[in-house]
Amino acid sequence: MSKDEQVIMGFRDILNKIVSLNKPKMKDSLKGFKSSEVHCIEYIGRNVDSNVTKLAESFYMTRGAISKLTKKLIKKSIIESYRKPDNKKEIYFRLTEQGKVINKVHDELHKEFQERDKSVFEQVTEEQFDIILSFIAKYSSHLDAEIKKQGVDIINQNDFE
């Protein structure tokens, strides 16, 4: 097996292990929500004036798919839509109080998972981190270009439900 194949297999193996470890706790703590919904909540919580276009670009989804997703979250009273006084056309999203609670639960789970894995990251040097991050950025940029070229919809890969 070539080194590039080993890297891809390594990434896949690590991702599968992370999902296997995290999924039961996520599913239990975030009952009734799909991972795509939780990640949409997370994005809206972190980004002021989130709209369909920004969400679609971030998740590599169509605007129609994002509209469907946000309508579900509005119906569940997790997010609400609003317009700015100076721009009556564009619709933006923000978290409701219930949405903030879900986002906090999600954040706390991630902190717990980071704590679980902390011992490994403490062994990595700054130079190793820089090399890893440089490679990830380069590979991610390549994949972004491919996703854009092919018009791929990538979310919903690891739903909790």
- Phi first, then psi: what are they for 61, rounded to 5°? -120, 165
22-34 average pLDDT score: 92
Res 86: pLDDT: 87
pTM equals 0.81
Q: Which of 3, 77, 2, 90 is nearest to 33 (CA)?
A: 77
| pLDDT tens-digit readout, 47-65 | 999 999 999 988 888 889 9
- Phi first, then psi: what are they for 99, rounded to 5°? -65, -40
Domain map (residue ranges) of the chain = 31-105+119-161
| pLDDT tens-digit readout, 62-74 | 889 999 999 999 9
111-117 average pLDDT score: 97
Q: Assess if CATH 1.10.10.10 describes domain 31-105+119-161.
A: yes
Q: How far apart are CA 69 and CA 37, in angstroms?
A: 7
126-139 average pLDDT score: 96
pLDDT reading at 45 higher than 90: yes
Res 147: pLDDT: 80
pLDDT reading at 161 higher than 90: no
Res 157: pLDDT: 46
